[in-house]
Chain A
């Protein structure tokens, strides 16, 4: 039986659960073919990089029109700055979706949960579809949900590191405990890792560095698209339980059942 697996978020219905990015490409002209090859329908763009008035190449013109724009607040160091960037993005015609990034530590680029929650609350009240980037912490996740987030974006590893799902246990807890969609963002370095996140029950994955810095970004984008689909289908298929000991198909205690049946 074929699944009709649509991911609905912020009033939009998405058939792909892979979100992509626009940063770090050696050539922005790769963005469109990556979107096509990966099947991605949502793309994040750092508003600080957008120069609509400049005579130089503008990243926005490389984003296919069917994509849902997810402007991010990269560069914001507190809630106030994130809110201003979000409002600016909306004023520029980038839509109502916003990925909150509040980072004031340039070494590991870890997000500030408290400031992120404050920005989320303000922007959700203003009608934004807020997707906050966060450390996978259950209490922060709950405060983000209370603040009106549309989804939660925990990191798998620090941004740009390609180190994979280092926070797997914490993400698993979020998936189990939260009702909001969990979109794993940052750190995913290989399609197998994205697949693993989806097998765990993540709603989607956002991948930028691993695609943009690959030797062949278009081929890598396709690989990620397929991996996310494969992981999602595995989750939907309901994987068998994991056991510690081997369970023989002819169990050692099978005779007990036969004895009872014979009596």
Chain B
């Protein structure tokens, strides 16, 4: 079983959301259990007029399932070598940026700088260059970081199940992988060369991670590459499919909007703040238990205001540069919009009646 046939169908079948009426949206907002067709209604242009009621429902569901808490984490970029030619990414192989990969001592220094801020959840990132940053290297990084961080996720190149299993044994408990776009034709255009060209292998990555024992699997589309409504619909259905098939895995979604980066690619569509709110609240109403991440790609005031509408995780104290925590001011993957420190994010959450959760998991094997 794979989500691939469904993804291919979704990617090539327009949703025709212009036929959705205001009544359809009103019904969808109040349904006790929202199905795929009601989810589509919530993503329609007609739903724009009902954004406030969607926000109210999304807030109530989030409060009920997650309370007034937001988990904080930060990314740690250990390598920016990349074999892919993604047309929209600052790390892409053809871009002439300084390339580097941290030594294990440098990884430790980065980890210590991050841990000093109080964070206990870490997202380990690389570019997609398995020959440079192979499984053994990642395993070694995890061993160095494990004493500092009870929870470590990876956002690296797609791997085979056996490699993910090796990482989970080393102490990795989460996997993030973005499909970028669910449209297979556009996907081929945007990935002209490199292993990432394989749409199917990437699409099945979350599934392989879940089967390898990852506790959290985070998916998403890069918003801006094509029609966001179509993409969020596919993300939601993919998340629902994963939730159903892997009930023990915490399925999470990120909503990254394209940011300026070292390259000439410009977004095909601009996703407005209002539209991002619609996307998030629709996802929350469709999947009440879904973890939703908002990154520092978004501006501080927007992150603060969107908080009650479904957010359960935030990145904080972010540097997207390799080694950027211990030695700041290097070239990052993309420009961040929210440069606030962990302490500042915590203070913001507190002022809004929310609690920053620094530690929400510890592998039982490592501690018992």
Contacts and interface: CB of A to CB of B under 8 A. Distances in A.
Interface of A: 23-28, 48-51, 54-57, 75-77, 81, 84-85, 87-88, 104-107, 160-162, 209, 212-213
A94 to B, nearest CB: 13
A54 B114 CA distance: 12
A76 B67 CA distance: 20
A104 B368 contact: no
A28 B357 CA distance: 11
B66 interface: yes
B80 interface: no
B9 interface: no
Interface residues of B, number: 34
20 contacts: A24-B67, A25-B67, A26-B67, A26-B68, A48-B360, A51-B358, A54-B118, A55-B118, A56-B358, A57-B358, A75-B361, A75-B364, A88-B367, A105-B248, A106-B243, A106-B247, A107-B243, A107-B244, A160-B64, A209-B67
B364 A213 contact: no
Interface string B195-224: 000000000000000000000000000000
B249 interface: yes
Contact of B67 (A48, A75, A88, A212): A212
Given A27-B350, A104-B248, A213-B63, 15 more contacts: A23-B69, A24-B68, A25-B355, A26-B353, A27-B355, A49-B359, A54-B118, A55-B118, A56-B358, A84-B367, A88-B364, A107-B243, A160-B67, A209-B64, A213-B67
Contacts of A48: 359-362
B367 A213 contact: no
Contacts of A51: 120, 150, 358-359
A213 B68 contact: yes
Contacts of B81: none
A213 B353 CA distance: 11
Nearest to B358: A56
B360 A49 contact: yes
A55 B249 CA distance: 29
Contacts of B66: 24
Interface in B49-67: 63-67
Interface of B: 63-69, 116, 118, 120, 150, 243-244, 247-251, 289, 350, 353-362, 364-365, 367-368
B247 A105 contact: yes
A85 B251 CA distance: 23
Contacts of A160: 64-65, 67
Contact of B249 (A28, A85, A106, A162): A106
Given A48-B361, A77-B248, A106-B289, A87 B368 contact: yes
Contact of A88 (B249, B357, B368): B368
A88 to B, nearest CB: 5
B341 to A, nearest CB: 14
A60 to B, nearest CB: 12
Contact of A49 (B116, B357, B367): B357
A50 B350 CA distance: 19
A78 to B, nearest CB: 9
B359 A54 contact: yes
A234 to B, nearest CB: 28
Contacts of B116: 55
Q: Which of B120, B247, B251 has the most CB of A within 10 A?
A: B247
Nearest to B150: A51
